[in-house]
Amino acid sequence: MEQGIIQYDRYRMKPEELIINLLLAMGFLFMVGMIFYDNLIIASVMSLLGIVWIPGRKRELMRRRKETVKLQFKDALYFISVSLSSGKSVETALIDAQHALEKVYPDKNAYIIRELELINSRVMMNIPVEQALADFAQRTGIEEVKNFSDVFSISKRAGANLVEVIKNTSNIIREKIEVKQEIENIIAGKKLEQKIMSVTPFILVYIIKASGSGFLDPLYVTPAGRLVMTVALLLILAGNLISKRIMNIEV
């Protein structure tokens, strides 16, 4: 297996990244425990749940990485289409796209540049382009990449006008990704509001508790009060999960 191949369905945190995320999660849960239960033991036990948060954080980072690849793939499709429009072959268009993106992205380790390098190196070793693209699509699990790979493979087997088909497919896929970007820009403000609303209950409880009025004392010292606080926490969590699902719009 070639070195440096990225498996996009897995995310391995660096040790320092894992430690920082774990400490942040445990610290946040400890504060939540102190705010809602005012009990050091309960807060300490809750902080241990930060370990459970790590897999979810990995999935989020994995999702962001795929979104980055998708946007970079849109740029690659543009340069591929330009090269094909000038009469060049698919193999040459892929090389041109790599060189063009190396000028666009300051980071030479950008995902799409690494993938184009891998594809082009495989083609130079007489591996069919469709096989190299299929591997890229399989590893990313991104629908747009898979669609492009499938269209390329089918068109080549069917003997269709490969250049014209790829150009049209590239345009359609780029338009789809751009629509997704526009939707993300439209709801960006709503996502910020959702994040603010997620932390507002904790801030309100802390303010009332810190005021020293004693209004919340029964919730901290009686079993019924702690049950109420537990139910409140679960409702906040449920509301947060529902709001995230609402904001997750698929195109």
How many residues in the chain? Answer: 251
Model pLDDT for residues 10-51, shown as the tens digit of each residue: 888 889 999 999 999 999 999 999 989 988 999 999 999 999
- How far apart CA 16 and CA 78 sit, in angstroms, is 37
> Which two structure tokens, joined as six digits, stand for 11?
């995310």
Model pLDDT for residues 185-237, shown as the tens digit of each residue: 888 778 888 888 888 888 988 888 888 777 788 888 888 988 999 999 999 88
Q: Is the pLDDT of residue 1 over 60?
A: no
The sign one gets for the Cα dihedral 141, 144, 145, 147 is: positive
- Domain range summary for the chain, segments of one domain joined by +: 15-247
235, exposed or middle or buried, with CB in 10 Å at 0-12, 13-18, 19+?
Answer: exposed
Helix axes 15-37, 223-247, angle to 10 degrees: 130
The pTM is what?
Answer: 0.79
- CB of 121 within 8 A of CB of 136? no
Model pLDDT for residues 126-151, shown as the tens digit of each residue: 999 999 999 999 999 998 899 889 88
Backbone conformation region of residue 4, classed left if phi is above 0, alpha if psi is from -120 to 50, else beta:
left
Mention every residue, 6+ apart, whose C-beta is less than 8 A from residue 8.
62, 65, 66, 69, 139, 140, 141, 142
> Which two structure tokens, joined as six digits, stand for 42?
């309960």
Model pLDDT for residues 74-111, shown as the tens digit of each residue: 889 889 888 888 888 888 999 999 999 999 988 878 99
- CB of 236 within 8 A of CB of 201? yes
